Amino acid sequence: MVENGPSAIFDLICRELLRLGFHSAVLAAEPGPHGPHAPYRYAATSFTEPIQRATERIIGHPLGQLAIDPLAVPLLSRLLATGRVVHTAAAREAARELFGCGASALPRLARLIRLRHVVLAPLEFAGGTSAVLVVAAERLHRSDPGAIGTFALQASIALERARLVGALRAREAELEAEVERRTADLRQALAALEEADRQKDDLLATVSHELRTPLASVLGYTDLVLKEKLGPLEPKQRHCLQVAASSGRRLKEFIDELLDFSRHELTRGRPHQSAPFAATEVLRAALVALAPRCAERGLSLRARAAPGLPRALGDRERVVQVLTNLLGNAVRHCGDGGHLRLAAARAPDGRVAFSVADDGAGIPPEHLARIFDRLYQVGDAAQARLKGAGLGLGLAISKAIVEDHGGSLSVRSRVGRGTRFRFTLPAAPP
């Protein structure tokens, strides 16, 4: 119950038998892949250090150097063949075989360890008779061999348990080492992915920024020619330039969206500038940014903030970006002459709630769960982009910004009735 190692249990066996009046020793077999095998060697004895030294002087060699072949010890061969306890009163002959000593040494050895009877009992564990218990007795009662056999059986159970515990601990150590190795590999792979992701964001930001400069020149000169500042245009020439200008503006919107995305990715995880601001400020900024596009398509755009609304807490510019993204998304999906509404009010939990609503086509229910995913488009993405839709990054950026502020972004929509996005921000202390 206490000892967990074979050597400790061997020593405990010998100590307990000595306490009962028996000298004893444990012969351990050599372990192997196919089970224990000869030779057997002394793994423990009940001898005190003086008796051990005296015994080794009598037999002429250290006990630890003995290698016992069962073929040379008939008593041991019989035990291994039957698997049962064996004993003999021919103690001196057994001692000569077990200790490898000459006949002249036997009388002194018999007097030293009170050797009259020898009992051998098998210790079964690790797939066979892995050890043998050797007991020397001065007197042997009829029940003693059976009792020693029972003692050996209990010791075998303890030894098997110790073996299983040792194997379990070794397996646990192997698993822990494997987990640590794989964790290190995963950390290394994650670091490589993060570095690759950072390089991708840097490249995306650089390419997007570099594309804006020549595109601005292209759009500027196209508008200059369309206004006939450089001379009159033929109808076919005007049509071609108008198509080029429209495609250029759509490309500019894509680049702006990529820049917003790359800017968000590069600053993700960094603390944002948090300061109180009035809800009317960000509503007005989003209104001004989208008013020209709404006017072009005859859209009705209204904004309203509830009276007595507390100031919101967060990064004002990033909140304006969220409202602009949501409002731009509403403009794209609202039919000409439709209605758009911006609103700010106090949420039931005391936070400041912002909403952007339209009366457009609405979003089918099967798409609602994925519209905040990057690059996700409702319907055919290619056709949507031909109609002026973005790359599908605006909603993902908006959701990430709101969550960085400790808020949440949700959507409600009905096909044919319109869509409403709503997000909340912390309220600033009064």
Q: Report pTM.
A: 0.47
Instruction: Identify which has the larger pLDDT, 8 or 383.
Output: 8
Per-residue pLDDT of 111-167, as tens digits, reads: 888 888 999 999 999 889 999 999 998 888 889 999 999 999 999 999 999 888 888
- Exposure of 349 by Cβ count < 10 A (0-12 exposed, 13-18 middle, 19+ buried)? exposed
Q: Using pLDDT thresholds of 50, 70 and 90, give the confidence band for residue 383.
A: very low
Is the Cβ–Cβ distance between 125 and 28 less than 8 Å? no
**What's the one-letter identity of residue 359?**
D
pLDDT at 360: 87
Q: Which of 276, 335, 268 is nearest to 309 (CA)?
A: 276
Helix, strand, coil distribution of the chain in percent, nearest 5:
55, 20, 25
Helices (H), 227-315: 235-267, 279-296
Per-residue pLDDT of 65-116, as tens digits, reads: 899 999 999 999 999 999 999 999 998 899 899 998 888 888 898 888 888 8
* 215 pLDDT higher than 60: yes
Per-residue pLDDT of 341-369, as tens digits, reads: 999 999 988 899 999 999 888 888 888 88
Q: Which residues contact 339 (CB under 8 A, 6 or more apart)?
A: 299, 300, 302, 358, 359
Per-residue pLDDT of 414-426, as tens digits, reads: 888 889 999 999 9
* 211 pLDDT higher than 90: no
